């Protein structure tokens, strides 16, 4: 994906990376919603949603920082 001369991602590469990250999040949300346990009460679901959201924010932010440092 990176340019052959200096291994710096092009704008198209960056757009593809962001597009793939967006799709990954959509798939994970879909999977999470599909298999969410019906027995959990609203408070438990909210807690899980917040925890998962924080985890993904940290994970995605770390990946984007790593990508930015490589550029």
User: Would you say residue 13 lies in a domain?
Assistant: no
Q: What is the mean pLDDT of residues 2-16?
A: 69
User: Would you say residue 17 lies in a domain?
Assistant: no
The total domain count for the chain is: 1
pLDDT, tens digit (0-9, with 9 covering 90-100), for 22-48: 888 888 788 777 766 667 777 887 888
User: Would you say residue 21 lies in a domain?
Assistant: no
Pick 1 or 60 by higher pLDDT: 60
**Helices 11-34 and 42-70, packing angle to 10 deg:** 160
DSSP reduced 3-state for 8: coil
pLDDT, tens digit (0-9, with 9 covering 90-100), for 51-65: 888 888 888 788 778
User: Would you say residue 19 lies in a domain?
Assistant: no
User: Would you say residue 22 lies in a domain?
Assistant: no
d(CA 66, CA 46): 30
Full residue range of the structural domain in which residue 48 is found: 42-70
Predicted model pTM = 0.40
């Amino acid at each position: 994906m990176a340019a052959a001369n200096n291994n710096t991602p092009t704008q198209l590469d960056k757009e593809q990376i962001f597009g793939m990250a967006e799709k990954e999040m959509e798939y994970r949300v879909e999977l999470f919603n599909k298999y969410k346990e019906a027995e959990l009460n609203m408070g438990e679901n909210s807690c899980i949603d917040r925890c998962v959201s924080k985890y993904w924010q940290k994970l995605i932010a770390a990946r984007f920082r790593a990508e930015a440092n490589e550029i």
